[in-house]
Amino acid sequence: MFKSTDGATTWTLTSLPDFAVGALAINPDNPATLYAAGLSASIANIFKSIDGGDTWVSVNTGLPPYDLWLLTIDPETPTTLYTAGGPNLFKSTNAGATWGVTSPAGNGVLALAIDPITPQTLYAGRFDGVFKSTTGGSTWAAMNAGLPDGDIAMLIIDPTKPTTLYAATGRVGGGAFKSTDGAATWHATGLRAASYCVATGSSRVTASASTSWLRAASSATTATGSMATAATRTAPDRLRQWHRQRGGAVRGRQPDRRRRLLLCVHD
């Protein structure tokens, strides 16, 4: 992991061990305290620094060896953190010293939003929709009225009016949705559907400007689609070595083992 102290003009390598970082979080009350989540085959999957990244210690007691792609800090009580990996959402109430499951086993959490005024209220985007907790993660309820079936890859909350949320889905027929009543109901914003392209094996996936919709070939090895932006999403695996090409195309070589996802947002 790298650090800049001059507004990203220059960067230096921190002492974090050789580690695939999937998410970072900084204590809002003490920015010298930060957390890095990810995966390593030989070491812990969450590290903590209290000196701005100069030194790190592992804080993964209670966590299984999952690839972690999400890390969120309670804005009111920064000793409370959430991370996601495998089928579960995990919670720590002691600054990462120990962790426990705070969601039922299921389809995995892709995104998490915390109400900044009432942090006990959480919204989780999962493969099977949006779930809400008003108990700090002890209990959850599905909140999908107006949403299409499928995964919710992104969730954001209005910091000044936290009953207003936005959700993005990667399913055909989806797109960006808005709720103004704490996720009780959702309506489309007008942004056209984002779509996931699923590819397997060591195939090459290309998203170009040649067609109007992203679609997976029947062999699940190639895809094309028109896009305004493109991003990769692990859920649960991590895409590597992607880069933007000329002409609006995004290309990447994928490892052999597991399914990979490419998220394209249409204009």
Quote the pLDDT of residue 42.
58
Quote the pLDDT of residue 105.
55
Quote the pLDDT of residue 267.
36
Q: Is the pTM of this model over 0.85?
A: no
Quote the pLDDT of residue 85.
84
Quote the pLDDT of residue 170.
67
CB atoms closer than 10 angstroms to residue 266: 17
Quote the pLDDT of residue 193.
58
Quote the pLDDT of residue 235.
34
Quote the pLDDT of residue 66.
81
Quote the pLDDT of residue 18.
75
Quote the pLDDT of residue 43.
59
The token pair at 238 is 């991590």
Quote the pLDDT of residue 41.
60
The answer to whether the CB of 129 falls within 8 A of the CB of 146 is: no
Pick the closest to residue 143 from 121, 159, 161, 160 (CA basis). Answer: 121
Residue stretches of the chain with pLDDT short of 70: 40-44, 104-106, 170-173, 192-267
Quote the pLDDT of residue 243.
29
Quote the pLDDT of residue 265.
37
Quote the pLDDT of residue 181.
97
CATH architecture observed for domain 105-191: Beta Barrel (2.40)
